[in-house]
């Protein structure tokens, strides 16, 4: 945004101004600069430095003898009488700015009661703010009153439910129109914000119907996209691509088997993680099938996505339909996790954050360079007080108003530790059994490593979980396209046997293991998610020598391993029936044909579905698999190396946690059968066929590419 005019001035500290003067204007030379305040008084500025930043501009740093007022119209004049508005620049990044202007109220946005509607906008650098308001009882543009901490205020003595509004913000010498970053609904494609009275959009969220959720390791997470789950014509869903379609019941395939929501209920998962359902940019809500996107391109964080509504033009419809989705899942005993993307926005310059308070909400270097650790052109600066507050306020709203039960943070390593801890603590005060987890990758954002909410700092965030990429890469194999041939232990590289042990304990053990987490409740164990190739496609690529029968066995082993490991199991929708994207690694904007769930595969691979259902049941049956403390795992779990790198994991002395005292789990990733004699009679609980029952055995046949579970 700098060096676009022949003369610019930016307030970069409370008494320091950076000036850019075009060399096409007096060769960029000026020996004098003045500050002109709102009363017309001129004050001479002191030139501290002069440098040539490019062939086109000269850069001056000038100082004032005292702090320069913020939020007032000020001009800078050079010696030839050319004037420019003083733009509020990097001064907003100073800690003192937050100390002066951070607002601690919980009423930003539009607040509604039966008798009044109040609008509040935090815009401390603005000189003036107006509100454009359209309602059946009132319409026009009205001046807002500036209150403490740079909050602008406007009140109407009536309930303005469904009123449309935008803000006109006069800052840095020009008027900018913006939607409300705190807006809770909008018209089609988010051109205006809409006032919402949630009591008028009321839905009973059925939270009392949920079963108890004691510890995070009791969760079985199932990741799904609203659109992908409902678009396939073979699913026979009357409302494809919508919230309503996601929970539509009594849908069956042409073969008469369950599809959609009724099928989902049969799996036994505890949490359904939804790909972004807040309003995002790149799907036209008036032409829904023209563009596809997963939704990692945020527009309005507090508004449900309009393309998922059957009536995107109606501001209340999208709210009611998403609330009904949450309520239905609750009624059927499943919790809802939102995938949230607070680390970046789709277009920084066009975002309401940058329009209203430029330079504040997005991370920058000391020289003003924009941080791009997200590789999306911007990083949200969660360390700033009001940016952090926004994230906390947003997730709190989704929890209170929509009954959301958990949050998965996209690129959580872009955000900072303190923000994530405050998010978790605030949410837990609202809903004690809430889950907070995310991608703890160490992203190259402009933030010191010790401050990043990444896996390497998990010890600073004991109540937050992370996706375990060590598990993914060593159990299945590497995921990047240029490493698609690299196998993990289950895929057939038995050299990863020790890494398999580390994975099975959720990377909670110290040397000689690779310890990533202090507790198994911090490890999200997965081999497949929306990113990268599906595990079925991965096996097809890295194990080209395998027959289809062997690939099915390995795929079942991957699912079984996830559900029999210490930590929190995570399954990608369709993984349980060999989901394929035809090798696509990043299908975020590919077509429905690539991304949609293929319901015919559910029937084709019904044995994998049944196996997945059985392994979920077995996990719920065997409490030691769900130990939530590393000390319990250390006390009761051990490994034995068997022939041909076959692995035995066993729990001993666990009678206090269920009906069995001794549990043995055999992992055979090889192509060779193994015969094993047990020390006593055990009950055969499960093998490649799924749950067996209570068959007493002493001699075991452990077939190639299978897991066998026995207990006594």
Q: For residue 40, what is the domain's CATH number?
A: 2.60.40.2320
Active site residue 410: yes
Prior bond to 657 cis, omega within 30? Answer: no
Closest of 341, 337, 338 to residue 297, by C-alpha: 341
Region of 188 (left: φ > 0; alpha: ψ -120 to 50; beta: rest) is beta
Half-sphere exposure of 324 (CA within 13 A, CB side): 17
Q: Residue 49: enclosing H or E segment and its boundaries?
A: strand 46-52
Tell me whether residue 161 is in a domain: yes
As given in the structure block, the two tokens for residue 681 are: 């009679």
The per-residue pLDDT for 321 is 98
Tell me, yes or no, whether 71 and 130 share the same domain.
no
Query: DSSP letter at 561?
Result: H
The CATH number assigned to the domain holding 322 equals 3.20.20.80
Domain at 664, CATH number: 2.60.40.1180
Using CA atoms, how far apart are residues 291 and 189, in angstroms rounded to an integer?
13
Q: Of 608, 668, 613, which Cα lies nearest the Cα of 642?
A: 668
User: What are the strands, taking DSSP E only, across 64-171?
Assistant: 75-78, 83-88, 109-112, 117-122, 128-135, 138-143, 145-146, 151-156, 164-171
12 and 141 both lie in a single domain? no
Residues 275, 164 share a domain: yes
Domain end residue (candidates: 33, 60, 88): 88
Number of domains in the chain: 3
Answer yes or no: do 300 and 444 share one domain.
Answer: yes
Task: Identify whether residues 110 and 192 lie together within a single domain.
Answer: yes
Residue 477 lies in a domain: no
Residue 601 falls within a domain, yes or no? no
Q: What is the DSSP letter of 33?
A: E
Same domain, 347 and 412: yes
Domain boundary among 531, 563, 582: 531
Q: What's residue 397's pLDDT?
A: 98
Q: How would you list the strands of the sheet with 83-88, edge to edge?
A: 42-44, 33-36, 75-78, 83-88, 7-13, 16-22, 57-63, 46-52
Q: Would you list the DSSP string of 432-497?
A: TT-EEEE-------SS-GGGB-SGGGGGG-TT-EEE-HHHIIIII---SGGGTT---TTTT-GGGH
44 and 189 share one domain: no
Q: What is the pLDDT of residue 343?
A: 98
Cβ neighbors of 486 (< 8 A, separation 6 or more) are: 477, 478, 493, 542
CA–CA gap between residue 91 and residue 93 (Å, rounded)? 5
The residue from 78, 305, 439, 598 that is catalytic is: 439
Identify the active-site residue in 197, 218, 410, 546.
Answer: 410
Query: Of the residues 88, 121, 137, which one is the last residue of a structural domain?
Result: 88
Range of the domain at 450: 92-214+268-468+517-531
Q: Which two tokens stand for residue 612?
A: 């997945």
pTM of the model as a whole: 0.97
In angstroms, the Cα distances linking 583 to 126, 222, 550, 571, 573 are 50, 21, 19, 19, 16
pLDDT along the chain (712 residues), means of 10: 81 97 95 95 97 86 95 96 96 97 97 98 98 98 96 98 98 96 97 97 97 98 98 98 98 96 98 98 94 97 98 97 98 98 97 98 95 97 98 98 98 98 98 98 98 98 98 96 95 97 97 94 98 96 96 98 98 98 93 96 97 98 98 98 97 98 98 97 98 94 98 98
Quick check: is 182 in a domain?
A: yes
Output the furthest CA–CA distance in the chain (Å, rounded): 98
């Amino acid at each position: 945004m700098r060096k676009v005019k022949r003369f610019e001035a930016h307030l970069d500290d409370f008494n320091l101004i950076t000036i850019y003067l075009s060399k096409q204007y007096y060769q960029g030379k000026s020996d004098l600069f003045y500050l002109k305040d709102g009363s017309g008084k001129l004050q001479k500025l002191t030139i501290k430095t002069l440098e040539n930043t490019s062939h086109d501009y000269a850069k001056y740093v000038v100082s004032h003898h005292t702090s320069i007022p913020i939020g007032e119209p000020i001009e800078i004049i050079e010696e030839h009488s050319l004037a420019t508005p003083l733009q509020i620049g990097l001064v907003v990044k100073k800690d003192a700015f937050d100390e002066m202007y951070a607002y601690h109220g919980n009423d930003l946005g539009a607040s509604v009661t039966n008798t009044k509607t109040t609008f509040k906008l935090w815009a401390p650098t603005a000189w003036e703010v107006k509100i454009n308001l359209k309602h059946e009882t009132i319409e026009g543009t009205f001046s807002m009153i500036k209150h403490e901490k740079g909050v602008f205020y406007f009140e109407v003595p009536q309930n303005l439910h469904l009123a449309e509004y935008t803000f006109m913000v006069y800052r840095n010498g020009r008027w900018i129109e913006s939607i409300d970053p705190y807006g809770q609904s909008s018209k089609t494609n988010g051109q205006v914000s809409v006032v919402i009275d949630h009591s008028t959009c009321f839905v009973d969220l059925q939270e009392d119907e949920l079963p108890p959720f004691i510890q995070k390791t009791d969760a079985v997470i199932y990741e799904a996209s609203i659109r992908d789950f409902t678009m396939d014509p073979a699913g026979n869903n009357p409302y494809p691509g919508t919230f309503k379609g996601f929970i539509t019941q009594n849908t069956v395939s042409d073969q008469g088997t369950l599809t959609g929501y009724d099928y989902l209920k049969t799996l036994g998962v505890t949490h359904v993680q939804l790909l972004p359902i807040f309003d995002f940019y790149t799907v036209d809500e008036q032409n829904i099938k023209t563009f596809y996107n997963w939704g990692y391109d945020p527009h309005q964080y507090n508004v449900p996505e309009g393309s998922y509504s059957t009536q995107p033009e109606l501001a209340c419809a999208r709210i009611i339909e998403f609330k009904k989705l949450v309520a239905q899942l609750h009624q059927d005993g499943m919790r809802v996790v939102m995938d949230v993307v607070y680390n970046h926005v789709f277009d920084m310059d066009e975002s309401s954050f940058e329009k209203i308070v430029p330079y504040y909400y997005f991370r920058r270097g000391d020289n003003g360079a924009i941080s791009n650790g997200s590789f999306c052109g911007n990083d949200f600066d969660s360390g700033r007080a009001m940016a952090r507050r926004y994230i906390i306020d947003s997730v709190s709203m989704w929890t209170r108003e929509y009954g959301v039960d958990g949050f998965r943070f996209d690129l959580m390593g872009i955000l900072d530790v303190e923000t994530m801890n405050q998010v978790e603590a605030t949410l837990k005060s609202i809903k004690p059994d809430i889950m907070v987890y995310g991608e703890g990758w160490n992203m190259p954002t402009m933030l010191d490593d010790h401050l990043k909410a990444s896996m390497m700092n998990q010890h600073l965030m004991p109540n937050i979980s992370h996706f375990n990429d060590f598990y993914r890469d060593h159990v299945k194999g590497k995921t990047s396209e240029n490493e698609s041939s690299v196998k993990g232990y289950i895929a057939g590289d038995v050299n990863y046997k020790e890494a398999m042990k580390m994975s099975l304990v959720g990377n909670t053990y110290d040397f000689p293991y690779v310890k990533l987490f202090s507790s198994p409740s911090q490890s999200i164990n997965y081999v497949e998610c929306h990113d990268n190739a599906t595990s079925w496609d991965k096996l097809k690529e890295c194990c080209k020598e395998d027959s289809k029968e062997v690939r099915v066995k390995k795929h079942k082993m991957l699912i079984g391993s996830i559900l029999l490991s210490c930590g929190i199991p995570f399954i990608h929708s369709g993984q349980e029936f060999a989901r394929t994207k035809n090798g696509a690694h990043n299908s975020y904007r590919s077509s429905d044909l690539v991304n949609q769930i293929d319901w015919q595969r559910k029937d084709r691979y019904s044995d994998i579905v049944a196996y997945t259902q059985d392994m979920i049941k077995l996990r719920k049956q065997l409490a030691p698999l769900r130990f939530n403390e590393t000390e319990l795992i250390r006390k009761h779990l051990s490994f034995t190396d068997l022939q041909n790198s076959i692995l035995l994991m066993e729990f001993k002395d666990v009678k206090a946690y269920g009906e069995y005292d001794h549990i043995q789990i055999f992992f055979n990733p090889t192509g060779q059968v193994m015969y094993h004699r047990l020390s006593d009679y055990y009950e055969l609980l499960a093998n490649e066929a799924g749950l067996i029952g209570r068959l007493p055995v002493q001699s075991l046949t452990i077939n190639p590419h299978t897991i066998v579970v026995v207990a006594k």
